[in-house]
Amino acid sequence: MTDRIFINAVDRDGNPLELAVANGHFSAIGSGLPRDEGIELVDLGGRLVVPGFVDGHIHLDKSFVGDRWHPHQPANTLRERLAHEKRELAASAPIADRADALVAQAVSFGTVAMRCHVDVDATTGFANLHAVAGVRERWRGIVDIELVAFPQAGVVSCPGTAELLDAAMGEGAQVVGGIDPETLDGDSEGQLDIVFGIAERRGVKIDIHLHEPGHGGIAQLRRIAEHTRALGLGGGVAVSHAYSLGEVPETDVDRIAAELAGAGVAIMTNAPGDRPFPPVQRLRKAGVEVFMGNDNIQDAWWPYGNGDMLQRAMLLGYRSGFYTDADLGVAFDMIGHAGARVIGLQDYGLEVGNDATFLVLDAPNVAAAVAAAPYARRIVRCGEFADATHG
Ligand SMILES: [Zn+2]
C-alpha cells in the first residue's frame, strides 16, 4: 500500500513528475498517479528530483577536511610531494575523524556512493585502509563506499607493496589500484602484471591512476586495454585521469577510444584545474564509459574542493565547453548513472522497486542544475526527508 506521493516535482527534462512510495521503495513513478483516499501528499514546489550523486574517485585518507586549514606547500618532485604529505598528515587529526568529516560533508550535498582510493604501501601498511573501512561501516546504509587499495608510492619501485596490495583484497578493499607504471615505477609490464594478476586471482576490479603525458600515456592506455581484453576483465577496469587523452591529436584519441571501448575500460576525470584532460564527448561517442569524481579535496596535493559532485559537474561542463542542455545533461549523468555502473551499484536510480532515495534540487531541469550548481537541496532517503544541511 502506498504511504505517500511526492507531487509537483519535475524530471530531468523539466516534465511534471510524481513519485509514490510504499515501505521505503518507489511503488509508482509518473504523472497523474491515482490517489488512494487519505494518502499523504508531499508538495515539492515544482523542484527537480534526481537520484543521489556518485563520487567515482575520492581520497578520504588524505583530506584535511575536519582538521585545521593546511596551507599548500609547493614541491618540485613527486617524491618531495609525498614526503610533505606524510609530514602534514602525521601532524593532523586521526584519519578516521577526518574521513568521517568529509563523508558527512559529501552526504549533506547528496552523495549516496563513492569509490575511495586508500594509500596502501610498505610504510603505511593497512593503517589507512582499516581506518577508512571503519568509517565505511559507520556510514553503511547512508552511503556505499567502495575501497581501492592505492599504491601511492609505486608498486615495483616500492618493495613489499605488491604483496600488500594482494593482501588488501582480504582486508576490506574491493578494487586493486595502480599508478603511473612507467613514469613512477619505470616498469610498465612489471606493474601491470602485478595489478592484473591480483585482479584475476582475487576476482576484484582495477582502477589505475594514470598521469603519464602525451603519447607515452596513450601507449600505457593501450597496454591496459590489451591486458583487460586478454584476461576478460572488461567492465571491471577503470583508468583515472588519463590526461594524455587531452594532449594528443583527435585522430589518436579516436583510435585509442575504440580500443578502450572494445576492451571495456572506463575513464574517470575530475575536470582538473590547470591541465588538459580527456575529451568527454569524443570518448562517449566511441562508446567509452566516462565518469567523475572529486579526487583530492583540501589535501597536500591541492587546496580546492568541498565534496559536492554537482559543483564538480559544473566544473566539467565549464572546462569542456558544454553549453547545450544535452551537453549539460552529459555532465549530470557523469556524477550519477555512469559512476553507479562502474561501481556496480544495485538499486540505483528513479525506478519502481528501488529504494525511494532521491535529491530535490532548486532547479527547473538537470541542465540548469549543472550550470548553477545550487546549494539549496533536500535529501529523501527511503521515502523520508533526511537532514538537509544546505536546504
Ligand atoms: Zn586520486
Rounded to the nearest angstrom, the distance between the alpha carbon of 304 and the centre of ligand 1 is: 14
Q: What is the pLDDT of residue 279?
A: 98
- Ligand 1 centroid to 355 CA: how many Å? 30
Ion ligand 1: residues, CB < 5 A: 295
Whether residue 84 contacts residue 70, with contact meaning beta carbons closer than 8 Å, is answered with no
* 207 close to 268: Cβ distance less than 8 angstroms: yes
* 334-339 mean pLDDT: 98
Question: What CATH number does the domain located at 4-51+349-385 have?
Answer: 2.30.40.10
Percentage of the chain beyond pLDDT 70 is 98
Report how far ligand 1's centroid is from the alpha carbon of 58 (Å).
Answer: 6
Torsion over CA: 331, 332, 337, 340 (sign): positive
Give the lowest-confidence range in 123-127, 228-232, 240-244.
123-127
Same CATH fold assignment for domains 4-51+349-385 and 53-343: no
Q: What is the pLDDT of residues 37-69, one digit of tens each?
A: 889 999 999 999 999 999 999 999 999 999 999
For residue 385, the CA-to-ligand 1 centroid distance in Å is: 32
pLDDT for residue 391 is more than 50: no
Distance 62 CA to ligand 1 centre (A): 10
312 Cα: distance to centroid of ligand 1 (angstroms) = 15
CATH of 53-343, one of 3.20.20.140, 3.40.720.10, 3.40.640.10, 3.20.20.100: 3.20.20.140
- For residue 297, the CA-to-ligand 1 centroid distance in Å is 10
Residue 187: pLDDT over 90:
yes
B/e letters for 287-314, b = 16+ CB within 10 Å, e = fewer, are ebbbbbbbbbbbbbbeeebebbbbbbbb
**Letter for the amino acid at 111?**
T
Residue range 129-167, pLDDT digits in tens:
999 999 999 999 999 999 999 999 999 999 999 999 999
| Separation of CA 7 and ligand 1 centre (Å) | 40
The pLDDT value given to residue 344: 97
Which set of grid coordinates corresponds to residue 185? Answer: 615505477
Q: How far apart are CA 342 and CA 240, in angstroms?
A: 12
On whether the CB atoms of residues 42 and 35 are closer than 8 A, the answer is no
Give the per-residue pLDDT at 388.
52
Q: Is 276 within 8 Å of 243 (Cβ atoms)?
A: yes
Q: What is the mean pLDDT of the chain?
A: 96
C-alpha 362 to ligand 1 mean position (Å): 31
CB atoms within 10 A of CB 326: 10
Band (102; pLDDT cuts 50, 70, 90)? very high
278 or 388, greater pLDDT: 278
How far is Cα 109 from Cα 379, in angstroms, rounded to an integer? 9
CA nearest 268: which of 254, 252, 276, 280?
280
- pTM here? 0.97
Calculate the alpha carbon distances from 124 to 86, 87, 147 in Å.
10, 13, 16
Domain ranges of the chain: 4-51+349-385, 53-343
Residue pLDDT, tens place only, 68-78: 999 999 999 88
Please report the pLDDT score of residue 84 as a whole number.
93
pLDDT exceeds cutoff 50 at 384? yes
Burial class (CB in 10 A: 0-12, 13-18, 19+), 200: middle
Confidence band of 390 (pLDDT split at 50, 70, 90): very low
pLDDT of res. 78:
83
